[in-house]
Amino acid sequence: MYGTILRGQLKPGAEVELLDLVDEFVARRVPGFVAQYTYRMDVDPNVYMTAVIFESKDAYFANANSPDQDALYQRLAALFASEPEWHDGEIVYPR
């Protein structure tokens, strides 16, 4: 499996829009998509982290490079106070 972890500070009042975008992404039924988990941090409730999981690196990058995903990403990025951090990598557990 392969995926990414996003970390970013959401603009105040943007949580509902963020969750709506997550719903929109999940509803697209992107090939190879497995799961997505979004967290609001206890230490700073404006900081969010999202883990997105795909069946493979190929499926992840096919989505990441698609025009539909780019359009969704542009809307997502506008919800954050600054460019969110992205940390891509192979998921080694569970095996």
- Structural domain boundaries enclosing 64: 2-88
What integer pLDDT is reported at residue 62 of this predicted model? 97
- pLDDT at residue 95 above 90? no
Q: d(Cα 36, Cα 78) in Å, to the nearest integer?
A: 20
Q: Does 95 map to a domain?
A: no
Tell me the pLDDT tens digit for each residue of 14-73. 999 999 999 999 999 999 999 999 999 999 999 999 999 999 999 999 999 999 999 999
pLDDT band (50, 70, 90) for residue 88: very high
Q: Report if residue 93 sits inside a domain.
A: no
Q: What share of the chain is helix, strand, coil (3-state, %, to 5)?
A: 35, 35, 35
Q: Please count the structural domains in the chain.
A: 1
